[in-house]
Amino acid sequence: MDALVTRLNALCDEQPFHTGWYIEDLRTGWSAERHGDVVLPSASTRKVAILMTALQAAHAGRIDLDARVPVDTDLATTSGCLQWFTPGLNIAVRDLLLMMIIVSDNVSTRHITGLVGLEAVQALCDSLGMTGTTHRRATPDYSLPRDPGPGVSNDTTPNDQGRLLRAIVDGARDPDAARRLDVTPELCALALDLMSKQRLRNRIPYWLPERTRVAHKTGSLGGNLGDVGVVYAGDVPLFTFCAFTDGVPLALPDGTAGHAAADHLIGRMAREAWDALLPPE
């Protein structure tokens, strides 16, 4: 696998911005990383941990996934759809989770974090040894500079996100692993199902074969763009891949939009991993 690591790092080195990544082969347990413990803004990748905390609460009977709750749509945000809905909306908690994941809806995120509490989200991450991950805010602070850096909003690392994804994958197929997350295999499978419905597919999935299942969550905050997910071969989890770029400029010297370069990079790295790790027919 040294050749794969070399190719991934070469792609990163072509860019004028920071890139950190973590990859794990879910068949063999082989893993590798680049700047895997460097703390960066998590942006909306943090919502995977929020999702799992909500499923913990559902398993404990503290929330009902099918209960319909009134939703205040007045949150001004650049992310999601519910902010544009007619006031007076009532929506099932399950659907708030769906919207939080598949279109990164921040109205949904605010309501879910209100139900479970940021302290519970942090406790989940701490229990998994995600030592570089901190949840400080339920929703983004748009008064921050374009590149706020770590320690200001919500933070994480590529390695931490890989640890969380592996725990979810293990929990979906092993009751003991699910119990360590305080959920059931069915709830872990639900999390992966929701993440597989992701609509923002311009990073990890972009260069993969059509219809490849990818359970993932993107995140964007100024010059910080990332994606974390599980890539499948058919219905079998093949590998996890977590990539974060930081300090991405508005435009590269050749005029390419910075966000397009970051998206393209993450997609190309995921394709390199796919080509290297996919078992032969």
CATH code, domain with 38: 3.40.710.10
Closest alpha carbon to 164 in 173, 176, 156:
156
Answer whether 0.85 is exceeded by the pTM. Answer: yes
CB atoms within 10 A of CB 91: 19
Using the predicted structure, report yes or no on whether residue 76 has a pLDDT greater than 70: no
What total of structural domains would you count in the chain?
1
Using the predicted structure, report yes or no on whether residue 72 has a pLDDT greater than 70: yes
Average pLDDT over residues 9-30: 98
Tokens representing 99?
A: 């919207």
pLDDT band, residue 86 (cuts 50/70/90)? confident
Partners of residue 92 on adjacent β-strands:
68
The answer to whether residues 71 and 45 touch, using CB atoms and an 8 Å cutoff, is no
Q: Compute φ and ψ for 144, nearest 5 degrees.
A: -70, 155
pLDDT band, residue 75 (cuts 50/70/90)? low
Question: What is the structure's pLDDT at 36?
Answer: 98
Q: Pairing relation of β-strands 40-41 and 236-246?
A: unpaired
Average pLDDT over residues 77-95: 87
Closest alpha carbon to 183 in 201, 167, 206, 194:
167
For 185-214, what is each residue's pLDDT tens digit? Answer: 999 999 999 999 999 999 999 999 999 999
**Which residues form the domain of 71?**
2-277
Determine whether 89 is exposed, middle or buried from the number of CB atoms within 10 Å of its CB (0-12, 13-18, 19+): middle
